[in-house]
Structure 1
Amino acid sequence: MGGSIFMLLDCDEQLFMAYKQRSKKGAENILATWLEAESNLREDPKILGTSLSPNLFLVNEETAKNIAFSTARKYWGHVSTEMQIYFDKYGLDSKFVNERLSAFFYTQKGKDTFFEQLFAQHTIDLERLIWLVFGKRMQIAMPVNELQSIILYKFQDEYLVHMMYKEHASFWHWLFTKKVYSLLIHKPLEQFTFLYEIMGHFEHSVRENCEHVDNFVNNYKTILDKCITHVDKHNASCLAKKQLRLYQIVTDYRLSEGDFKSVKALITSFEAEWRYSMYALSEKEKVLIAYILFHIANREQQSEKVIYYGEYLLEDERINNYAIEILLEYKELLPNRKPTPPAIIKNYQLNYLENLYAILLEHYVKMARYEDGLLLLKEHVLASNKKINSSLVQKNFSSEQLIAIEAYVQQDIALHVNNSLQHIGLSVEEWRRNYRQPNAPYYVVAQSASLHMLNILRVLFVTEQYELFEKLMEIYKKYLLIDDHFENLRMFISAYV
C-alpha cells in the first residue's frame, strides 16, 4: 500500500487519509459531516460513534467483482523474492509458481473459481488462494504491508466488499465494524442473509480494534445489547431478527466467565418472544439452546437439569442430527475434534459428544441413578470405549476381551506420549513417570480420563458388574491412579458397602 491506494472506494480512501492524519478522531469528524448531509437515513443511536450511509459503501455486483479480483491480482498475482522462500520449501520454483498464478488471474476459469470461493466463504486470504491455485494447503507468512484478506457479503442486489491490510490494520478493522454497524442501523434486517457469518467477522474486528483488550468482553456485550435493542425496535419480526437474538445468546454464553445470569435471562425472554410467532423455534434452535443450558447446569452443578437437558439432547439423536448445522453457524460452540470410540484415555472436553456423555454419567452418579448410568454405557460406545461397551453388551465375555481393554489403554497412552504405536512399552513407562506432573503435556488428558473412569467404576460396582469392575480397577491403578481421585472412590465404596 505504501504509495498509491489501489481500488479503494471513495469513502474508504477519504476516511483512510483522515485517519492517517488525525487517527480515529479525524475519521469520526468526516463521518459527522457526511451524516449531516444525509436526510433519508434512520436515526443513528451513536452506539459505535457515527454511522456511515450504506449508499457510500454498498456497490453493485460488477463493481464488487472488479474491486475484489483486481485487488487480489495486484497483491497475490505474483511472487516476491521473500515469498518464494516459502514455496521453495514445497519444491515449487518461481517460474512454475508465477505461471500458475498467471493462469489463475488472467483466465475466466480462474476468475470464476475465485468468486465461487469468495461468495461461498465470504472471505478469502492468501493461504486459501494458494490452496485454490496449487491444490494444497501451505503455511505462507504474509510480508508486511500486504493485503490480509478480502471480505464480501450480499445485501439484496448490492454488495459489501472490504479489504483488510496489514498496514494500519486497526483502521481497516475499525472501518469494517463501522460498515456492519451502519447496515444494522440503517438497513432492514431481513436483507441480512448470512447474519451469523457477518457478526462473526464483526466480533473479530471489534476484538482486533479494541484498545483495552482486558475490557473486550464487557465492551462487546454492551455494544451487542444496545445494537440489538435498537434493531428490535426498528424492525418487523423476521427470520434475521431471530437469528440476531440467537447470536447474542451464543455470544453471551461463549464470553461468560462463570456468571450465567445474563445468558439465562436472554434465553427466557427469547423463548417467550418467539415461541408462538410465525418464526417459532425450529428443532435445531431448540437443540442449540438445550446444549447451552446443559453446560450452564453442569457449571452450576444442578444435576437434575443436567440430566434433563442431556437426555433431551440424546433422545432421537437430536444433538447428532443438528451438530453439523450448529458447527457451521457457531464454529466455537461445539468442540469438534473427531471422536475416538476405541480410546478411553483422552480429554473428553475436546469432542462435544464425548464430553456430553462424561458430564451426564457424572451427574447420574451424583444423583445415585446407577442403572441409568449403566444403560448409558451399554447404549453409547462413546460413553466408555469399544471394548468396555462390547464387554457390557455381551452377557458372557472372555478373559481375552478383558486383556484387550488393557491393550487399548496402552495404545491410547502411546498416541498421547509419542503420537505413534511404535515402542508402546517405552511410551507407557514415560507416561507413568510423568502423567501426574502439571507441566506434562498429557496431564489434562490424565485428569479428564481419571475422573471419567472412576465414574464408570462407581456405576459398575453398584450395578454388580464385578468382573469388569475388577479389570478396570486393575487398569486404573496401573496407568491412571491419581491419589485424590482414587481416595474419593475408596470412600464411595466404603460408604456404599
Structure 2
Amino acid sequence: MLLDCDEQLFMAYKQKSEKGAENLLATWLEAESNLQEDPKILGTSLSPKLFLVNEETAKNIAFSTARKYWGRVSTEMQMYFDKYGLDAKFVNERLNAFFYTQKGKETFFEQLFAQHTIDLERLIWLVFGKRMQIAMPVNELQTIILYKFQDEYLVHMMYKEHASFWHWLFTKKVYSLLIHRPLEQFTFLYEIMGHFEQSMKENCEHVDNFVNNYKTILDKCITHVDKHNASCLAKKQLRLYQIVVHYRLAEGDNNCVKALITSFEADWRYSMYALTEKEKVLIAYLLFHIAHQEKDNELVIQYGEYLLEDERLNNYAIEIMLEYKELLPNRKPTPPAIIKNYELNFLENLYAILLDHYVRMGRYQEGLVLLKEHVLASNKKIHAALVEGSCSNEQLIAIEAYVQQDIALHVNNSLQHIGLSVEEWRQHYRQSEAPYYFVAQSASLHLLNILKILFVTEHYELFEKLMEIYKKYLLIDDHFEKLRVFISAYV
C-alpha cells in the first residue's frame, strides 16, 4: 500500500530516474502557495501535507503492508525456517495468530512506535521468539519506518527493488520536514537523523567525496533551520548531532569539530535549554579523543579525569550509545584480561589513553592511583596485587595463567588446548596479517605503560613478574626498545 505521492514519484523515477522525480516535485512545488521558501539544499522539497497522515491511516498502511509481504511464507522462505526445525504448517499458524488477532496487532505497533522501524528479522523475533538470519527475496519489503510529528505520522517503506529510490524519497521527506515544519515537532530527532544519514549513504555512496558532500548538506540544512526556528530542545539536539557527525567523519581534521563545539557552548550556555550533564559528558568525550589525536597531554588528562570523576562517562554511556550508536565502542568489558584491544570498549580505552598520557607527562603517582582505583585500567589480578600492596607467589602465577587464557581466547576462542594456542600466538602475533596483531600491539603499549609506572613507583616484585610475562608472550622489539631507553634514562 503506497501513498499517492509515493506512487507518482516512483513512476516518474522508473521512467526518467531521479531527474524525472525531481521534475515532478518542481511542478508540485509551483502549485503550493503556503509553503516556506525552499532553499533547494537537497533538490526540490516535498510538501509535508502530501506524506504526513493521521494515526489511524499510518497504522493501516504499516500493518497492511507488513501482512501483505510478511504474512505468508513462500517456498523459498520456508527453506530458511526448515533449518530451525519449523515446518510450514507451524510457521503459517503462528503468522496467522500474529497478523489476524488483536494481540498481534498491539505487539506490532508497540514495537514500531518504540523502535521507529521494523524489518523481517525483528518481526520473526516477535512472532517466534527467536532471532534468525533470514535472507530476503529480491522484490520483498525490507523495512517499515514510522515517526510522529505532533498529531501526524511519517510512514515510509523501504523495498529491495529500486532501493535507491526509496532511500532517496526518505531523505527528501526528512529534508522537507526540516525545511517546512517547526523543529519542535521532531520528537525523536537523533533517531530520524540517523536514518536520514543512512539513506543518504545508501543512495549516494557511489558519489565522489560523499563524506564532504554530506557534511556540507547537513551544515546548510542546520544553518537554515537555525535561522527559521525559535530556540527549542530539538534545535539544540540538532546542533549536537551536527557536532557528532563532523567528529565521526573528521578524517583527521578536527578544527571544524572544535569550532562547532565552541560556537555551540557559547550559544547554549545561558539558554533556558542550557547543557545537561549528559551533554557536557558527550562533549568532553569528543574533546578527550581529539586531544589524544593531537597529542595534547594536558587536555587529555583534564578531560579524562573529568569523565572518570563521579563515574560521569559510565553513568551516561547507555544514553549516549542509544542516541549515537557508533560513537562509543561498546564491546563488553573484560576485567580479567590484560591482553586485549583496548579500543573496543570505551572505558578500557579511556583508561589506556589516560595512563599513556600520565606516563608521557611523568605523572607516575597519578598513574599508580588510576591503576589502584580502577580494575579496568589493568586487570583483576594486577589490581588486587596493587591494592593489597604485596604479591604472593600464587598471585604471580595467577597473573600468567590469566595471560595464557587471554591468548587462547584470541587464537581459538576456546580455553581447550591452551598450550597449543599460546605456541601459535608466539609464532604469529608480530605479523601484521595475523587476526590478533592489533590486540598484541594495543596490549603491548598498555602493558609497557604499566611497567613504567611500577618501575618508577618501586613496585619491583610485580614489575619483574610482568616484565617476565611481557618478554615471554608480548615482546614487540620497537616497543621494548623504548622501555629499555626509558629505564636507562631514569636510572
Which TM-score band applies after superposition, normalised by the shorter structure? over 0.9
Please give the residue correspondences for 1:33-52 in structure 2 after superposition, counting only pairs within 5 Å: 33-52=27-46
Question: Does structure 1 residue 258 correspond to structure 2 residue 241?
Answer: no
- For residue 110 of structure 2, the aligned residue among 113, 116, 119 is 116
Structure 2 equivalent of residue 391 of structure 1 = 385
User: In the alignment, which residue of structure 2 is the partner of 1:229?
Assistant: 223
Looking at structure 2, the residues matched to 232 and 300 of structure 1 have their Cα atoms a distance apart, in angstroms, of 31
Where 2:458 maps in the other structure, the secondary structure is coil
Give the SS at the match of 1:52: coil
TM-superposition CA deviations, 1:288-314 (whole Å, max 9, x none) = 000000000000100000000000000
Deviation for aligned residue 1:211 = 5.4
Aligned-partner Cα distance in 2 for 1:290–1:20: 48
Shift of residue 397 of structure 1? 2.8
Contact 1:73 1:105 in 2 (8 A): yes
Asked if 1:329 is matched to 2:329, the reply is: no
Q: Give the superposition deviation at 1:157.
A: 0.5
Work out the CA distance in 1 between the residues paired with 2:430 and 2:208: 33
**Could you report, residue by residue, the CA deviation over 1:159-204 in whole angstroms, capped at 9, with x for unpaired residues?**
0000000000000000000000000000000000000000000000
Q: Are 2:171 and 1:180 equivalent residues in the alignment?
A: no
Is residue 2:214 matched to residue 1:194? no
1:239 to 2:239 alignment: no
SS of residue paired to 2:44: coil
> Contact 2:391/2:461 (CA < 8 Å) preserved in 1?
no
Match of 1:415 among 384, 409, 416: 409
| Offset of residue 396 of structure 1 | 2.9
Name the residue aligned to 1:135: 129
Equivalent position of 2:49 in the other structure: 55
Matches within 5 A, 1:455-474: 455-474=449-468
**Structure-1 separation of matches of 2:389 and 2:438:** 34
1:85 to partner: Cα distance: 1.1
Matching residue's letter, 2:243:
I
What amino acid sits opposite 1:139 in the alignment? Answer: Q
TM-score, reference length from structure 2: 0.99
Give the match for residue 20 of structure 1. Answer: 14
**Structure 2 alignment gaps of length 5 or more:** none
Q: Choose from 141, 152, 174 the match for 2:146.
A: 152
Counterparts of 1:233-382 in structure 2, within 5 Å, are 233-382=227-376
SS of structure 2 residue aligned to 1:259? coil
Tell me how far apart the structure 2 counterparts of residues 265 and 233 of structure 1 sit (CA, whole Å). Answer: 19
1:399 is displaced (CA, Å) by 1.0
Once the 2 structures are TM-superposed, how far is the Cα of residue 213 of structure 1 from its aligned partner? 4.1
Is 1:207–1:213's contact at 8 Å kept on the other side of the alignment?
no
SS in 1 for 2:65: helix
Report Cα offsets for 1:84-112 as digits up to 9, x if no partner.
11111111111111111111011110000
Runs (4 or more) in structure 1 with deviation over 3 Å come to: 211-214
* Aligned-CA RMSD value: 0.6
Identical aligned pairs, as a percentage? 88
2:391–2:462 contact (8 Å) kept in structure 1? no
Q: Which of residues 69, 80, 85 is equivalent to 1:86?
A: 80
Distance in 2 (alpha carbons) for counterparts of 1:409 and 1:22 = 62
TM-score of the two chains, using structure 1 as the length reference: 0.98
* Structure-2 residue corresponding to 1:98: 92
Deviations 1:346-387 (A, max 9, x none): 000000000000000000000000000000000000000000
Q: Which residue of 2 aligns with 1:64?
A: 58
Q: Could you tell me how far apart the structure 1 residues matched to 2:96 and 2:160 are?
A: 24
Amino acid in structure 2 at the alignment position of 1:241: K
Helix, strand or coil: the match of 2:330?
A: coil
Contact 2:281 2:312 in 1 (8 A): yes
The unaligned stretches of length 5 or more in structure 1 are 1-6
Query: Which of 477, 480, 488 is the matching residue for 2:482?
Result: 488
